[in-house]
Amino acid sequence: MFKEDGTVNSPEYPLSIEMIRWTFTVSPEHRVEIETYLLDLGLEIQARGDDVLVVTWDEPEGGFDELIEDLWAINAEPFEITHEGFHRVNLLVYHPEETEGVDSAAA
C-alpha cells in the first residue's frame, strides 16, 4: 500500500485529528455492500453518483490500513482513497453582549 503524505504539520508538534473524510470511487456492483459495511462501523456516508463515496467520522482512533484492506477486498480490487484529516486548532463561541436594558427587563 503506497501512501503519499502531504502533511504540513511538524512531527514535533502534531495536532490531534478531530475528523477524517475519505473520498473514493468503487465498483458500482459492490457499492451497497461497501456502504453497509461502513454504516455498520458507525461512519457517515454520502453517495455521489453510482460509484463515488464520501465517508466521514469524528474522533477516529486509527486502524486505517486494515479498514482500507477490507474495503479493497469487498470491492474485489484496490482503488485510490483521498484521506483528509481535520484538526480543531481553535474553537470560539460568539455571543451578544448583555446591555443594561436587557438586565433590568429580566429583573
Residue 67: C-alpha distances to residues 60, 63, 102 (Å) = 12, 6, 54
What three-state secondary structure class fits 66? helix
| Integer Cα distance of 83 and 72 in angstroms | 15
pLDDT in tens, the chain (107 residues): 545 555 555 556 566 778 899 999 999 999 999 999 999 999 999 999 889 999 998 877 778 899 999 999 999 999 999 999 887 766 778 889 887 665 555 55
85 grid coordinates:
484529516
Domains in the chain: boundaries: 17-106
**Which residue type does 5 have?**
D
Q: What is the pLDDT of residue 10?
A: 55
What distance lies between CA 37 and its chain's CA centroid?
Answer: 16
For the domain spanning 17-106, the CATH number is 3.30.70.270
Backbone dihedral angles phi then psi of residue 59, each to the nearest 5 degrees: 45, 60
Q: Is the pTM of this model over 0.85?
A: no
